[in-house]
Structure formats: C-alpha cells, structure tokens
A and B are shown apart, each in its own frame.
Chain A
Amino acid sequence: MEPGNGGFVRAPRTVGAGVFMVLIGLFALYHSWGLTTGTTRQIGPGMIPQSLSVLLAICGVLLIVEGFVTRGEKLEAWKIRGPLFILGAVVIFGLAIKPLGLLLAAPLAMGIGGLASSETRPREIAIFAVVMTVFCLGLFKYALSLPIPLAPWLIGY
C-alpha cells in the first residue's frame, strides 16, 4: 500500500472514507428526521440518532479535508468474486434453510462459497461439504437440540 501520489488528492482512501461516513450520516439523519426530537428534559426518540448522524457527517467532512491535506493510501480496488460468492452463499442459505432444510442448504452454501476462492477443487469441496453437513447435523441438531429444519420437502421437518 504505497502512499498517495503527490497529486491534488493526497490521500484518496481517506477521502473515500470520509465520503462514506458522510453518506451514512445523511442516510441516518434522513431516516430519523421524522422522529420526535424532544427536549433535554424529556429526550425523544429522535434526539440521539439525529445528533449522532450529524456528528458522523461532520467527522466525515473532517476526514475528507484530511484526505486533501495529508499524504495517505490510494483507494483499494474492490473485488467482485469474493463478495459475490461468499455473501451470495450466505443469502442463499438464508433463503433456502426454511423450504429446503439444512441437508440441502448447507452443502449448497458451502459449494457456492467455495467458488470464491481460486484454490478450491470441485471434488474436494463436494466431499468436504457433505462431511461438514453431517457434522453440523450431529452438533447442532442432536447435541444441542436446536430446532433447525432438516429437509421439510422430504420428511416434513
């Protein structure tokens, strides 16, 4: 991670960070605008979220300023493969667990997650997924008796 070039924006990553914070602050402010702010005597639901949003936005601006004045890191590139397959696998697990049950959702999620890494080999991950699913079955369902659906489409629970 080399320091930013001596160009106009000296620390692109810091500026990006600042912008990110400002956006979150404004977003939160917008969504908490409708809440009653109240007074110091009777603080309403809105006061804390609103003040925090404003504080965050201000800090974000400070970061942006810092990014123009001090040297810092360049913006890092965002990869697609990792987030897509890992987070996608999690979402698919979430969607699949109730209708399909653990026995299908788990291997599915692990398989899709495996696609995120270039080191994964298909047969290896397939076997591993099956073994892991059985292990999880034993641990979560039987040892800890958690009410997790196993295969609703097959056995009803």
Chain B
Amino acid sequence: MIELIDNLGTGFSTALSLQNLGLCFLGVLIGTVIGVLPGVGPIATIAMLLPLTFKLDPTGALIMLAGIYYGAQYGGSTSAILVNIPGEATAVVTTLDGHQMARQGRAGIALGVAALGSFFAGSVATLVIAALAVPLTKLALLFGPADYFSLMVLGLAFAIVLARGPLLPAFCMIVVGLLLSTVGTDLETGEERLTFGMPNVVDGIDFAVLAMGIFGFAEILRNLENPEVRDVSRTAIGRMLPTREDVRRCVKPVLRGTFVGGLLGILPGNGAVLGPFASYTLEKKLSKRPKEFGSGAIEGVAGPESANNAGAQTAFIPLLTLGIPPNAVMALMVGAMTIHGIIPGPQVMTKSPDLFWGMIASMWIGNALLLIINMPLIPLWVRMLRVPYHLMFPAILIFCCIGIYSVNNSPNDVILTAFFGFFGYALYKFGFEPAPLLLGFVLGKLMEEKLRQAMVLSRGSFTTFIENPVSAGLLFLTVIVVVVAVLPSIRKSRDEVL
C-alpha cells in the first residue's frame, strides 16, 4: 500500500510538471477534436504527430499521444449522441440510446452523463492499473485462441440482445457484417478475397468507410425523408443538467460498466471494443424498463460510456507491463517509445519508473482535463443541434467526405463510402438495423483469425472449445444470453397465436 502511494507520488510529480501538463492538455484536446470528426481517427493522427514528438522527452511524448487516444473516445461519443455517427467502433452502442435522447431534447443530459460516467470510469481504471497491473496481465495471458473465439461469440450474442427489433433481421445483419469483415487479403495464404480488384480494400474495408456510409450518409438520407421526426429536438428546449432521478438511475450502470469495460480492455486484440456492447446488454437485461432501451434509456448511455473509457485506460496495461501492444494505436506507442530509445517490455516498470508512473498519473489528469474541457462545451453542442437541417446535413456531408479522404488519401475510399451509403439506405428501406452489422464487422476479423488458429492448434478438432475451461465457460454464458434474448419473443409469438 505504502509502495503504491509512493509510486503514485512519483507519478504525479512527473505528470504535473508544466511541460507534461501542457502536453496532456494538448493531447486530450486534439483527441477530442479528431474523435468528434468523422473519419480522422487516433491512429492516423498519432502516426502523423510521431515526428513532432522526437523533440520531446519520451515521457512527455507518450503522455500527449495517450491523451489523443482516450480523448478520441470522448469525442467519438459526442458525435454519436449528436448526429448518430459513431466516431469510433466503441461509440456504436452510444448511438442507440444517446442519439434518441438527443432527439427528445435531452442531448445535454446525454453528453453530461457520458462525460461524468467516463470520468468516473477513467479514475477507477487508473487506480486499478496502478495497483493491479501485473496480476491483471497474467489474466490476459490466460486467453488462448479458442478462448478468444468463444469471447467473440459471446460478443455476437450481445449484438442480438442489442437489437431493437425482431431477431431474424438482426441476425442477418450480423452475418452481413461478418461477411464484410472477410473482404481483403487472407492472412495465411495472401489470397485476395472479395476485393473485386479494388486496391483500397486489399487490407480490408476501413471501419470509418463502413460507418460513415451506413450510419452517416444513410442517416442523412433517412432524415431527409422524415422531416417531422428529426425536427423534434429543435423545438424542445431541452434540459442541460440531469435530474436527481437521472443521476440515481446512472449510478449502478456506471459501476457495472466500469468493471466490465475495464476487464475486457486488458485483453489484447481489441477486447476493449466489446466493453460497451457487454455493458449495454447487461443494463438492458437488468433494467426494470427494458422496453425503454433503444428509445433513450439513460442507462444505455451511462453504462457503455463508462465501459468505453475504462477499456481505453486498461488497454495500456499489456503495453506498459509486457511491452505488447493490444491494438494498432498501442503499436504506435511502442514505436514512439522505441524511437526514444526505450525498449518496451517488463523492465519498463522498474527501469523507467518516471515514465511508467508518470503515464499512469497523467491518465487520471487527462480524464480530469477532458471533463473540464467537455462540460462547458455541452451547451455549445446542444445549440449546434438547433441549426436548420438543410444547412446541417451539407456540413456533415463535407466533414465525412474530408474525413474519409484523409484516412488513406484515397478518393476510392470516398466513392466506396458512397456505395455503403446506398447500401445503408437499402437496409433501412427493408427494415434492417445497422448497429448489429457494424458489431459483426468489428468482431469478424478477430473471430476468424482466432477460429483458424484454434483449429490449427487442435488439429481440426472442434472439442477444443469445450476442453479449454475459459472457452467452455464463455460458450456456456453465450447460450444463457441467447436463451434469455430469444425467450421473450417465443413467449410473445406464443401469446399471439393463442
């Protein structure tokens, strides 16, 4: 305990130096901006800013880059709530209820709850990292390919629960999402699959391209056809602050979300993305008002947002304790460390304590700064929603276009997004929901990779999924989740028939 306080002391004294404080602020500010903007994401931004960080000392550089990363999570939620466009994969869930809240004139509350929930989650996660980093890493090492696969299957079960409407169409969307995730080059043989000769999808379809098309452009088309529905938020003045009731309803979801998101964030390979989905499912199933979910339930924002932010923080654990980056952004951090002459690995904790504890302390500071930056912006965002739609949508249009173009400097990406916009329009016309598709897409790549690895290791035997205890447990959980999801509708159709 004493050691922990001692270490945190070192950390805070490092993080609170004027330079590091300034860099932290700059990082979270840039992160928020790019998070709000469609297309431009933390990976591209961090890669671009990498050369600038050469002039800085390694601790300062990493503090800034980390700030960009979790700042982008905040920003991504903001655009999800305001305009139903998820800036990051982790913000997809927030669009479900967050945007509905905005439509009801409660955008301010949604943004506020998201910010406060995220701050709480971030603070707790920072403490967890400080105290339990090493034991938690051992947890991550328990997961082999079979276990991962089962975790992803559980994630897909969440997607079914997530769906607002009937199950069969939602399931179709998941499958389409999985299919879209196979587009690209096969990992093992290098063969191109379903790429149709398009060079920009040789490494797979970009998440931003799919999200902008199916959420962004299709949403604009939808709104243009339903002027009455979209104008609701413009007439209602809307509350800025949550009521007592609202706050009371959020407490437990925030706690649960932090726990779930924090745990999943440790898992390498983007476990963090599952956090919000798991939290949403949990809240929907535990709520006394499950019907509200999908039309503005505040728990549907509080839980996932906390999970989201907790996961973003705990994702640093494998990086800081083992030197293994759990996702592409962390891989950039590894690069930043290496360029500065720090070899990431188990010794970073002992050989560069200033760096290790300084980063942890700065994560908390970053969260505090994000709260300070974002809260006053909320009235501004809400006022922005009052802009007449016929001016708003060209603005969204151009932001999306530039954002997509900037990902790879590829005009083909922009045109592909237009195609997905049309695809999203078709899906909407036939009554499908886009959210499960996006989840299937995000999980698909990892699922297939883990399935194939598990099969190779088990020499073709499917029993490996039951033999591995973690995997068996997860699959069991999946069955429970699916049954609980399907049961009400079976009962309902039985009631209808009778």
Given contacts A87-B217, A117-B224, A17 and B430 within 8 Å (CB-CB): yes
Q: Which residues of A contact B40 (CB under 8 A)?
A: 140, 144, 146
Enumerate chain A residues within 8 angstroms of B389, measured Cβ to Cβ.
117, 119
CA distance A73 to B390 in the complex (A): 29
Q: Does B179 contact A52, Cβ atoms closer than 8 Å?
A: yes
Contact A48 B448 (CB under 8 A): yes
B300-308, B366-374, B397-405 - interface stretch: B397-405
* 0/1 string, B407-436, CB within 8 A of A gives 1: 001011111011001100110011110000
Interface residues of B in 241-268 (CB under 8 A from A): none
Distance from A51 Cβ to chain B, minimum over Cβ atoms (Å): 10
From residue B31, how far is it (CB to closest CB) to chain A in Å? 12
Q: Are B175 and A56 interface neighbours, CB within 8 A? A: yes
Closest to B459 in A: A41
Task: Check A90–B421 contact: CB distance below 8 A.
Answer: yes
Q: Which residues of B contact A146 (CB under 8 A)?
A: 40, 48, 406
- Chain A residue numbers with a CB within 8 Å of B176 are 21, 24, 56
Q: A13 to chain B: which residues have CB within 8 Å?
A: 430-431
Tell me the minimal C-beta distance from A120 to chain B in angstroms.
Answer: 5
Which B residues are CB-close (under 8 A) to A145? 48
Knowing A17-B432, A86-B221, A91-B415 touch, does A36 contact B398 (C-beta < 8 A)?
no
Q: Interface residues of B: mostly helix, strand, loop or mixed?
A: helix
Interface string of A88-104 (1 = CB under 8 A from B): 01110111011000100
Fill in one digit per residue for B180-217: 1 if any A CB lies within 8 Å of its CB, else 0.
Answer: 00100010110101101000000000000000000001
**B73-102 CB contacts (< 8 Å) to partner A:** none
Q: Are B405 and A52 in contact (CB under 8 A)?
A: no
Q: Which of A35, A97, A119 contacts B388 (CB 8 A)?
A: A119
Contact B194 A49, beta carbon cutoff 8 Å: yes
**Is the Cβ of B394 less than 8 Å from the Cβ of A56?**
no
Q: Count chain B residues whose beta carbon lies closer than 8 angstroms to a beta carbon of A.
A: 69
Contacts of A59 in B (CB 8 A): 168, 171-172, 175
B431 close to A89 (CB less than 8 A): no
Whether B405 lies near A120 (C-beta < 8 A) is no
Q: Which residues of A contact B175 (CB under 8 A)?
A: 52, 55-56, 59
Q: Is the CB of A40 within 8 A of B390?
A: no
Q: Are B168 and A114 in contact (CB under 8 A)?
A: no
Q: How distant is A19 from chain B, measured CB to nearest CB, in Å?
A: 9
Q: Which residue of A lies closest to B182 (CB)?
A: A49
A120 to B398, CA, bound (A): 16
Given A78-B429, A102-B402, do A56 and B224 touch, yes or no (CB 8 Å)? no
Q: Would you list which residues of chain B between 110 and 155 have a CB under 8 Å from chain A?
A: none
- On chain A, the residues within 8 Å of B461 by CB distance are 40
Q: Does A4 contact B (CB under 8 A)?
A: no
Q: Quick check: B224 and A52 within 8 Å, CB to CB?
A: no
Check if A83 is an interface residue, CB within 8 A of chain B: yes
| Chain A, range 1-27, C-beta contacts under 8 Å to B | 13-14, 16-17, 20-21, 24
Pairwise interchain contact A106-B402, C-beta atoms closer than 8 A: yes
> Interface majority SS on A: helix, strand, loop or mixed?
helix
Q: Which of B291-299, B348-356, B450-458 faces chain A?
A: B450-458
Taking a contact as CB atoms closer than 8 A, the residue among B394, B406, B413, B417 that contacts A113 in the complex is: B394
Q: What is the minimal beta-carbon distance from A75 to any residue of chain B, in angstroms? A: 8
A140-B402, A144-B34 known; A45 and B186 CB under 8 Å?
yes
- For the complex, what is the distance from the CA of A44 to the CA of B412, rounded to whole Å? 29
Chain A 107-141 per-residue mask, 1 if CB under 8 angstroms from chain B, else 0 = 00110011011011000110011001100100110
Establish whether residues A86 and B397, one from each chain, have CB atoms under 8 Å apart when the complex forms. Answer: yes
B384 within 8 A of A: no
Do B168 and A94 touch (CB < 8 A)? no
Contact A132 B398 (CB under 8 A): yes
Q: A86-B224, A102-B402 are in contact. Are A40 and B460 (CB under 8 A)?
A: yes
Q: Are A93 and B406 in contact (CB under 8 A)?
A: no
A15 to chain B: closest CB distance in Å?
10
> Closest Cβ of chain B: how far from A154's Cβ, in Å?
19
Q: Sort A-B residue pairs by CB-CB distance and give the 3 closest, nearest first.
A: A41-B460, A94-B414, A45-B186
Report which B residues bind A (CB closer than 8 A).
30, 33-34, 37, 40, 45, 48, 168-169, 171-172, 175-176, 178-179, 182, 186, 188-189, 191, 193-194, 196, 217, 220-221, 224-225, 227, 388-391, 393-395, 397-402, 405-406, 409, 411-415, 417-418, 421-422, 425-426, 429-432, 448, 451-452, 455-456, 459-462
Can you pick out 29 interface pairs between chain A and chain B where the beta carbons lie within 8 Å of each other? A28-B194, A32-B194, A35-B186, A40-B455, A41-B460, A43-B455, A45-B191, A56-B179, A63-B172, A82-B220, A87-B418, A90-B415, A94-B405, A94-B413, A97-B405, A109-B397, A110-B397, A110-B398, A113-B393, A116-B224, A117-B224, A119-B390, A120-B390, A128-B394, A132-B394, A136-B399, A140-B40, A144-B33, A148-B406
> Interface on A for B, CB 8 Å cutoff?
13-14, 16-17, 20-21, 24, 28, 31-32, 35-36, 39-46, 48-49, 52-53, 55-56, 59-60, 62-63, 66, 73, 75-76, 78-79, 82-83, 86-87, 89-91, 93-95, 97-98, 102, 106, 109-110, 113-114, 116-117, 119-120, 124-125, 128-129, 132-133, 136, 139-140, 143-148
